[in-house]
Structures are given as C-alpha cells and as structure tokens.
C-alpha cells in the first residue's frame, strides 16, 4: 500500500500543506517543535480516524481555526482511492472516494499504518500492564474472536472482584463466575500463545537483520497460569481446577490472583533478559522488531503491507542498525521517518528516497 500524497489544512501547526510522497522512503527532517510528529500524526489520523497522542480530536485543529482537514490518496494492489477526514468542534467526517462514510468503522481499514514512537520502548521497559495492552491491541486487530473473549473475560472478572471485595463472600456465586472465567481464559491463552509465537517468528528475523546477524531475539509468553493442554476444553478444565484451588487465598486477599489478566511477555537476546541486561540500543531494537513484526502479521492477514511511520528512532540506533533497518524495510514497505539531524541519516540510505525539510509548519 502506498500513500501517494497528503494535503493538510489547519491541522496542528500547518496552515496549508501539500506533499507528494516517495513510494519507498520519506524522511522528515527538522529542529524540535517544527511539525515532524504532527505530520506523522496526520497520516495516522487519515488511517485510523484517531490520533496516537491525544484522545481529544479538537487539539488537532489549528489554534484559532474552526476545522482541520486531511486529504490523501492511496494506491493499493487494486486501485487508487482518495481519502479525506475533517475535524471540527462538532465531530469528524470521513470520506472514501468522495463519499461520506456513515460510520467511522466503515472508513477505517482503507489505509493501514503501523507507527513506532518513542513511547513504544515501554513494550520492553515498562510494566507487564503495558505489554498486556500491546498484546491485546495487536491480537485484537487481527482476531475479532480474541477481542470478544477478552471483553467478556474482563466483565466477569470485574464482577468477581466486586464479590471478593465484599465482606461476606458467596462462594457458590464465585464458582459460577470462575466457570465462565475459565472458558474465556482458555481461549485467550491459546490465542496469545499462537499470536506471540507468530510475533516471535517475524521479530527474530527482523532483529537478526537489524543486528547484522549477531543477535538472536526470542519473544516468550509468560502465562500466569502454568498449563499443559493445548486444546480449549481440556485447558478450561485445568483452569477451573486451579481457580478452585486458589479460591480461599483469593477470598482472603479480596481480589483475583489467577488468570490471563496477570500474563506477561519477556524478551531475550542471545538468551539474556533484555529488560534487565539489554543496552539502550538493544532495548530499542527489540521494541522496534516486535512492532515491525506487526507489518508482517498484517501482510499475512490483508495480503498487503501497511505504511510504516517511525518517529524519532534513528538517533538511538547506530549506523549499522539504521542502514539495515531502512534498507531491508523500504523495499517492501513505504516508510516515513522523522529525524532532527542530517548526520543521523546514514549515507548508505541516501539514495532512492525523498527528504523533506520541515520548518515551522512549512
Ligand atoms: P520534536 O523533534 O521535538 O519531536 P516535532 O517536529 O516532532 O518536534 P511536533 O510535535 O510535530 O514537533 O510539533 C509541535 C509544534 O506544533 C509545537 O510548536 C506546537 O506548539 C505546535 N502545535 C501543536 N498543536 C497545535 C495546534 N493545534 N495549533 C497550532 N500549533 C500546534
Ligand atoms: Mg516529534
């Protein structure tokens, strides 16, 4: 998939901007606070009708303006399609091929993007909660069944926690809830297992490329429940038994202690733990590889690569890693990169690309 061009009107610090893009690699270069991330945000917004850094759409509208517009055209294997989206104080309107989409869910999915921003380092360095959110988002994008199971699980879990918190716990009621939890949990766990091994397959290949073959990345599922079964029914039985075993402890503690809401994932490079022993560059290339694996998963699912947005990643990668990253990826995936300094850009990637200098919204 290629984003051919973009036109911004009253978007963030852009009054009016028209750009045509290179089909492989586009680099936005400029000092701090000039509008580089804003430009990636506009592409992201054109893709998903939401920003990656704010939930308040009106922040996107230029100060003292009424409405922000983003227009763009994409080329897929089958066709070229104009997309547009506008944000005003009363809401947003999205159009595909000049026709307004009645629902945003009909609009989303035409332009696919994967974004890597500095905060994504938290996939490695942050808490298990950040990693669970990452798995849920990624897995949810690819599997609707997963999303449904997760939402049912969370509802029942909230109910159970409420019971556990109350003074006199009805253990029959908890057993009923545990039965439901075990059912959803078994499906969530098996999907996570499947998804994380798919991520690992791609991420370890990508990380191998970035590190020039010197480092082997592994992505490890760390389920909270230790289990044997690989089949939903049997796994449900196992989980039910475990929940029963832990019931008195849970009542004592007044909260649920066992289940996929306490899962985690781990990363190792050449068999050492990246979170504990990895260098800054290794942690960054781990997070990056895991994110880039998403490109491959979407490709397998949709049959086409999404557009890749990389915000501020170059400065923390050495020349070798940069060159491997950008040369290996740009031949498959149209890539947009921001950077503050030309010296960040390796001369080996300077051909076959378009450089845009960004200064004060121009
Ligand atoms: P850095 O290198 O520091 O990440 P950047 O080039 O990515 O910088 P952006 O985040 O794209 O910077 O742009 C920030 C600029 O956009 C700031 O100057 C900010 O004041 C301006 N800005 C943000 N929102 C709006 C808005 N709604 N209207 C006008 N200007 C805005
Ligand atoms: Mg920025």
pLDDT tens digits for range 274-293: 999 999 989 999 999 999 99
- Annotated binding residues for ATP, as ranges? 30-37
Please identify, by atom number, the ligand 1 atom nearest to the C-alpha of residue 65.
Answer: 28
Selection from 355, 342, 339, 345 nearest residue 36 by Cα: 339
Binned at pLDDT 50, 70 and 90, residue 190 comes out as very high
Pocket test residue of 8, 10, 13, 344 for ligand 1, highest count of atoms within 8 A of CB: 13
pLDDT of residue 59: 97
Ligand 1 centroid–CA 33 distance in Å is 5
Domain pair 2-112+304-357 / 122-276, same fold = no
Q: Is 51 in the pocket of ligand 1 (CB under 6 A)?
A: no
> What class does CATH assign to 122-276?
mainly alpha
Q: Distance between CA 275 and CA 55 in Å, rounded?
A: 29
Q: Which residues make beta-bridge pairs with 71? A: 7, 84
Q: Atom 24 (ligand 1): residue with closest C-alpha?
A: 12
pLDDT of residue 29: 95
Mean pLDDT for the chain?
93
Q: How many residues are recorded in the chain?
A: 362
pLDDT of residue 204: 96
Q: Is 75 in the pocket of ligand 1 (CB under 6 A)?
A: no
The model's pLDDT over 58-68, given as tens digits with 9 standing for 90+, comes to 999 999 999 99
Pocket test residue of 10, 12, 359 for ligand 1, highest count of atoms within 8 A of CB: 12
Q: What percent of the chain has pLDDT over 90?
A: 78
Look up residue 136 and give its DSSP letter.
H
The model's pLDDT over 84-119, given as tens digits with 9 standing for 90+, comes to 999 999 999 999 999 999 998 889 889 999 999 988
pLDDT of residue 211: 87
Examine the pLDDT at 347 and tell me if it is beyond 80: no
Q: Is 359 in the pocket of ligand 1 (CB under 6 A)?
A: no
Q: Distance between CA 154 and CA 261 in Å, rounded?
A: 8
What is the four-CA torsion angle of 233, 235, 241, 244, rounded to 10 degrees?
A: -100
Which ligand is nearest the CA of 68, by number? Answer: 1
Q: Atom 10 (ligand 1): residue with closest C-alpha?
A: 37
Examine the pLDDT at 167 and tell me if it is beyond 80: no
pLDDT of residue 318: 82
pLDDT of residue 329: 84
Pairing of strands 14-20, 2-11: antiparallel
Q: Atom 3 (ligand 1): residue with closest C-alpha?
A: 32
pLDDT of residue 255: 94
E-strand stretches of 263-353: 264-269, 272-273, 307-310, 335-339
Examine the pLDDT at 141 and tell me if it is beyond 80: no
Examine the pLDDT at 349 and tell me if it is beyond 80: no
The model's pLDDT over 15-50, given as tens digits with 9 standing for 90+, comes to 999 999 999 999 999 999 999 999 999 999 999 999
Q: Where are the domains of the chain?
A: 2-112+304-357, 122-276
Q: Is 300 in the pocket of ligand 1 (CB under 6 A)?
A: no
Fold (CATH) for 2-112+304-357: Rossmann fold (3.40.50)
Where is pLDDT greater, at 127 or 118?
127
Q: Atom 4 (ligand 1): residue with closest C-alpha?
A: 32
């Amino acid at each position: 998939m290629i984003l051919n061009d973009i036109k911004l009107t009253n978007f963030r610090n852009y009054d009016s901007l028209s750009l045509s893009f290179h089909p492989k690699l586009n680099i936005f270069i400029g000092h701090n606070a000039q509008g580089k991330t804003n430009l990636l945000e506009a592409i992201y917004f054109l893709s998903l009708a939401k920003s990656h850094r704010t939930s308040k759409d009106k922040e996107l509208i230029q100060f003292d303006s009424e409405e922000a517009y983003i227009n763009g055209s994409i080329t897929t294997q089958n066709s070229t399609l104009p997309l547009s989206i506008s944000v005003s104080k009363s809401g947003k309107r999205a159009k595909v091929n000049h026709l307004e989409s009645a629902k945003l869910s009909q609009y989303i999915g035409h332009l696919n993007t994967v974004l890597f921003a500095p905060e994504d380092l938290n996939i490695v360095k942050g808490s298990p909660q950040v990693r669970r959110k990452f798995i849920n988002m990624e897995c949810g994008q690819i599997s609707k069944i997963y999303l449904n199971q997760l939402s049912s699980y969370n509802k029942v879990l909230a109910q159970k926690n409420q019971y556990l918190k109350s003074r006199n716990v009805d253990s029959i009621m908890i057993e009923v809830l545990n039965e439901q939890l075990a059912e959803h949990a078994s499906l969530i766990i098996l999907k996570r297992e499947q998804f994380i091994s798919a991520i690992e397959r791609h991420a370890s290949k990508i990380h191998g490329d970035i590190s020039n073959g010197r480092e082997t990345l592994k992505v490890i599922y760390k389920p909270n429940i230790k289990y044997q079964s690989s089949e939903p029914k049997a796994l449900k039985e196992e989980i039910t038994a475990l929940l029963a075993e832990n019931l008195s402890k849970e009542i004592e503690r007044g909260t649920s202690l066992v289940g996929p809401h306490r899962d985690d994932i781990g990363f190792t490079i050449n068999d050492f733990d990246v979170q504990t022993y990895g260098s800054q560059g290794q942690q960054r290339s781990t997070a990056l590889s895991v994110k880039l694996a998403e490109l491959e998963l979407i490709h397998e699912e949709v049959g086409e690569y999404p557009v890749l947005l990389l915000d501020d990643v170059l400065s923390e990668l050495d020349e070798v890693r940069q060159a491997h990253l950008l040369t290996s990826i740009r031949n498959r995936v149209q890539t947009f990169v921001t950077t503050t300094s030309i010296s960040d850009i390796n001369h080996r990637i300077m051909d076959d690309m378009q450089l845009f200098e960004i200064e004060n919204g121009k």
